Amino acid sequence: MRYRNFGAFLLAVPLSAAAFSMGKPETVSANSAPPYWNGSDGMGAILAGDRCPIEVEREHLRFSLTEFPAWEESAENFANYSGKFTAEYTFFNPTDSAVELSLVFPFGVLPDYYPYDEELDRASFGYAIRLDGADVPYTLRHTLDGQPYARGSSFDLEKGLERLYSSRKPFYFDDLPVKTYTYSIDAASLSDGGDVCYANFSLSFAASAERTRVLCLDHCSYGIKDGRAKLTYSFDCSEQPVQFTVYVLGEDISAPETHVFRYENGRIVSYNDASVTVASQKSATFSDFALSFRPEGSAVSDGDWKNAFIDAIEEGRYLKTCCSDFTPSDLKVPAALMQWFEYSISVPAGGRAVNSVTAPIYPTMDGSHSQDLYFYRYLLSPAQKWAKFGQITVDIDTPYFISDSSLAFTAREGGYTLTRNSLPLGELAFTLSEQERQFPADMNWTYNGDGGDLALVTAIVILCVVAAGAAAIITVLVLQSKKKRKRREEEEKKLLQARPQEGKIDLPEDDNKSS
């Protein structure tokens, strides 16, 4: 990626999104909610280019964490949640010319307990961008989310910026031809009069992986056989008529072949008497095709929607062939799209500017132990790309107890404080809890999310009831409980590893002085 002049990008992000706590579970039932909900990371300042002369003289990062998110998944609770952070940067321009900074601030990945399905104005939830105390105008931007959903995963910043500013999308252009084929499948003769009659329709064809993209909106399976692409769609033949639609982007498919069949005892049984016809065929441009799936009244711009549409197709491309398992109806706001503020500020020659960003921050939460744990992670490492970084002060205003911190905070009235004369190595991570941390010494094993130690309780009950002549059963039960306990310990180990411990390797400031 290339940026003109001294372009820079600032990401002060509320990406600490979420997991959810259930308190201290006493019993386990079928409708119990999970004790752990996935979260994501908060992010500091990022410089996308490498030639920006702007220096960060100091950063003041303040967390206001006087409450934890409520259990009820309601819009009102979510909108009124007060947890937030403010990142204030004092920029210095050492050059003889004013520098225009182009900056972006992503809203972040949504927490698992986000109660909305529809698009809405999240900017009203406590976001603020200011320059020297005055509000800064911004443009709302959107990209495909790109967040991996494994526990402990992080948003890919470089990919996010590339999606936001990439001007060249290989293969795709507005006038790219798109053909829509709708097949009609007459399979009524296959029904035996029962309630359900399952069958399969397949479409195989030759196509270029470089010049063609094929989409199926009916959740098909994909495969390659004898050098041909194959889409397979399962349907209920008792429901007539059955229609199947394929979208072909770019060069048309060649010599399509259709097949109706079912599986019986692992064998394929063909239905040659089923009728398959092309019910309709339409043509459009890619621009019109992509925008036809954008929700009515959406705030997503034409350009951002088309770019997200393209990224979703490419991300879902099966083994880099012509087939993609992307379904346009899945491209929703806010679930699938990352939202960004884009704005600009100017730093005068030899002068300073104070830019602050305020945003809500949603913790990852774990309620599977004897006390609820709330994890916060804020990425400091992206700030390494600024030309120079000076002092950093981190304040955590909270009535709760801190533990597992990657940096050494000093307790004070109303919270904790950390000051460094340079940017620390690694990331900022810490845990808050309502009582002083007892975990892992005092763990509650009543419920761990997958019933791991419930098996141990069951085993004890069984052993009490069927003690005589049950040596083999005892061995199996003990082994099972050990395996599940081991799996639980591995999960805990991964969780601890996911919380960075870089603060432990930082050298004391006195040790950094040359002798």
Instruction: Provide the residue-wise pLDDT of the chain in tens; the chain has 515 residues.
Output: 333 333 333 344 333 322 223 333 333 323 344 566 655 566 655 655 567 899 999 999 999 999 998 766 677 777 788 989 999 999 999 999 999 888 888 777 677 777 776 666 667 778 889 999 999 999 888 898 765 444 445 667 778 888 888 777 889 999 999 999 999 998 777 666 555 678 899 999 999 999 999 998 777 899 998 889 999 999 887 777 789 999 999 999 999 999 999 888 888 888 888 889 999 999 999 999 999 999 888 888 999 999 999 999 998 898 889 999 888 777 766 667 888 888 888 999 999 999 998 888 888 888 877 888 999 988 888 787 788 999 999 999 999 999 999 999 999 999 999 999 999 988 899 999 999 877 554 443 332 333 333 233 323 333 333 333 434 433 444 445 555 555 555 555 444 444 444 433 344 444 434 43
Q: Answer yes or no: do 377 and 245 share one domain.
A: no
Is residue 104 a part of any domain in this protein? yes
Cβ-based neighbours of 80, under 8 Å, separated by 6 or more: none
Strands 275-285 and 221-225: unpaired
Which of 433, 449, 469 terminates a domain? The answer is 433
How far is 307 from 143, CA to CA, in rounded Å? 7
Is residue 93 a part of any domain in this protein? yes
Is residue 279 a part of any domain in this protein? yes
How far is 201 from 219, CA to CA, in rounded Å? 12
Q: Which H/E stretch holds residue 495?
A: helix 471-498
Report the candidate in 352, 503, 515 with the shortest Cα–Cα distance to residue 420.
503
218, 245 contact by CB (below 8 A): yes
Sheet (strand 221-225) strand order: 221-225, 228-236, 198-206, 254-264, 267-270
Strands 267-270 and 221-225: unpaired
Q: Answer yes or no: do 258 and 308 share one domain.
A: yes
Q: Answer yes or no: do 231 and 322 share one domain.
A: yes
Is residue 455 a part of any domain in this protein? no
How far is 230 from 220, CA to CA, in rounded Å? 10
How far is 148 from 146, CA to CA, in rounded Å? 6
Is the four-CA dihedral 331, 333, 336, 341 of positive or negative sign? Answer: positive
Q: Answer yes or no: do 269 and 216 share one domain.
A: yes
How far is 198 from 237, CA to CA, in rounded Å? 6
Q: Answer yes or no: do 240 and 376 share one domain.
A: no
Is residue 141 a part of any domain in this protein? yes
Q: Is 172 helix (H, G, I), strand (E, B) or coil?
A: coil
Q: Answer yes or no: do 215 and 241 share one domain.
A: yes
Which of 369, 402, 433 terminates a domain? The answer is 433
Q: Report the length, in residues, of the chain.
A: 515
Q: Answer yes or no: do 353 and 323 share one domain.
A: no
Q: Which H/E stretch holds residue 15?
A: none
Torsion of CA 306, 310, 313, 315, to 10 degrees: -130
Q: Answer yes or no: do 220 and 322 share one domain.
A: yes
Domain, as residue range, for 389? 36-169+335-433
Q: Answer yes or no: do 45 and 77 share one domain.
A: yes
Tokens of 142: 């959107």
How many structural domains are present in the chain? 2
Tokens of 219: 């959740």
Cβ-based neighbours of 379, under 8 Å, separated by 6 or more: 41, 42, 43, 44, 154, 427, 428
Q: Answer yes or no: do 183 and 325 share one domain.
A: yes
Cβ-based neighbours of 9, under 8 Å, separated by 6 or more: 46, 47, 48, 49, 102, 103, 104, 161
Is residue 469 a part of any domain in this protein? no
Burial class (CB in 10 A: 0-12, 13-18, 19+), 404: middle
Q: Answer yes or no: do 89 and 183 share one domain.
A: no
CATH of the domain at 351: 2.60.40.3680
Q: Is 515 helix (H, G, I), strand (E, B) or coil?
A: coil
Q: Answer yes or no: do 315 and 371 share one domain.
A: no
| Angle in degrees, 0-180, between the axes of helices 302-315 and 157-165, rounded to the nearest 10 | 130
Report the candidate in 163, 66, 45, 137 with the shortest Cα–Cα distance to residue 361.
66
How many Cα atoms sit within 13 Å of 379 on the Cβ side?
26
DSSP letters of 423-485?
PPSS-EEEEEESS---TTTT---S--SS-TTHHHHHHHHHHHHS-TT-HHHHHHHHHHHHHHH
Which of 433, 460, 476 terminates a domain? The answer is 433
Is residue 488 a part of any domain in this protein? no
Is residue 43 a part of any domain in this protein? yes
